[in-house]
Amino acid sequence: MAIVVPKLKFSPPQILAIGYATLILLGTVLLMLPVANTTGRALPLIDAFFTATSAVCVTGLVVVDTGTFFNGFGQSVIMVLIQIGGLGFMTMATLLALVFQRRISLRERLLLQEAMNQGSVEGIVRLIRRVLYYSIVIESVGALVFTVRLAFDMPVGQAFYYGVFHSISFFNNAGFDLFGHFSSLTAYTADPVMNLAAVLLIVLGGLGFVVLSDLADLPRKKKLSLHSKLVLSTTGVLIAFGFVVILLFEWSNPGTLGRFGLGGKFWGALLQSVTPRTAGINSVDLTSLHQATQFLLLILMFIGASPGSTAGGVKTTTFAVMIGAMLAMMRGREDVVFFRHRLGRDRILKALTIILLALALIITVAMVLSVTEDHDFMLILFETMSAFGTVGLSLGLTTDLSTFGKILIALTMFSGRVGLLTLVYALKPKKDPEKYRYPEGKIIIG
């Protein structure tokens, strides 16, 4: 069984962009079918396209309620799109090649390197095997926990189906749910089992498979890589910071955490601290949050999770590098140092480029939507940030978007999932080698 790779001379970034676009088009066709929903009528093209894009880009923004509008077939299509989109279509193609014991070519390894955001092809197939193994194990355990808990609220068969769907959705940081009426986990705000399972699935999916592999090897190697240390420390700080701030801001808010006891406040604040990092589920009414809390969620959505994971955003390492560069400049030091390791100049420039590209995209999309959509700017900015970070949280704007707005948000989701640098590399012409360098000049900064 061969991995299907276009014969034309496309670069790895171009193939990845084309592959995700093809998957979205296939999902659009399937979701448009009358047999995919409970109404028996074809879903409009723009709504099917938006839903397929949201699923493939593991976002969770929806224009129709997943649990009540789509039937078992439609929900299964969404679940498969989430799984392929979360792990990457090249990962799934590699699975088929490994099953049929086919050798992975160098070109295919280069594609996997680009898809997994790795620096080299060394060990890439071994990493893919681990990705598939970790995904199966983690999603299976999550599905079992959800099934056992939900069996108290619904028939066992339905509980199993819900368990599988939500385990896949949460681990891939997709945010789709089947609880109906756009309710997400609001019925389980104080439930420790549902919240703990959801938080662990989201965090494990957002750490990145390189970090998971590093953690699995820790008993043998007795140490973690610099990347894993930076990801784990940044993730822990962001979760703790978000938890404390949300708890303080929403403690007495009757529309959110104010109506719960200590347990409900704890789990509600914890989940809402974790989920903006591209998971897209909520256990409290987001529209009732104080604006300060909503703004905090904007920041967390922009940062996102970690490289090589199922999540989006500019990534934790990018954010950490920018903070490190700022602190180094303030201290008058030339090097950005983490855990006694100096970062190369190319890493800092790449982080800066990603931050600026992301800000440029978000600002542009939000400005355009503020012209085309007759809504409060906070709703528009929140929707835009959610789409870019492939988060899926919304303040209620998604269902009211115009056709143009849906297309623009869908393209923003696509940009966030494929990656801005990948899209830039895919669209740019072939680079000619530099034949000379200009003399260094000096300007005044600040």
Rounded average pLDDT over 23-31: 94
Q: What is the pLDDT of residue 131?
A: 79
Does the pLDDT at position 67 exceed 60?
yes
Q: Determine the average pLDDT of the residues in 254-282.
A: 91
Which DSSP string corresponds to 120-167?
-STTHHHHHHHHHHHHHHHHHHHHHHHHHHHTTTS-HHHHHHHHHHHH
SS3 341: strand
Residue 382 has pLDDT above 80, yes or no: yes
Residue 231 is encoded by which pair of tokens?
A: 């990801």
Can you tell me the distance from the alpha carbon of 60 to that of 75, in angstroms, rounded to the nearest whole number? Answer: 13
pLDDT at 61 over 60: yes
Helix residue spans in 222-305 (DSSP H): 226-250, 262-274, 291-303
Top-confidence residue, 278 or 364: 364
Nearest alpha carbon to residue 338 among 239, 242, 232? 232
Run of H or E residues at 342: strand 341-342
Which two tokens mark 12? Answer: 């790895």
pLDDT in tens, 229-257: 999 999 999 999 999 999 999 999 999 99
Closest C-alpha to 45, from 30, 67, 57: 30
Least confident range from 5-19, 205-219, 314-328, 385-399: namely 5-19
Q: What is the mean pLDDT of the chain?
A: 85
For the whole model, what pTM was predicted? 0.87
The highest-confidence range among 14-23, 343-352, 405-414, by mean pLDDT, is: 405-414
Average pLDDT for 136-157: 94
pLDDT at position 109 is 62
Q: What pLDDT score does 305 carry?
A: 86
Q: What is the mean pLDDT of residues 78-97?
A: 74
Residue 262 phi/psi, 5° resolution? -60, -40
Confidence of residue 323 (pLDDT cuts 50, 70, 90): very high
Q: pLDDT tens across 149-190, in order?
A: 999 999 999 999 999 999 999 998 888 999 988 888 999 999
**Burial of 24 from C-beta contacts in 10 A (0-12 / 13-18 / 19+):** buried
Neighbours of 432 (CB within 10 A): 6
CA dihedral 88, 89, 95, 101 (to 10 degrees): -140
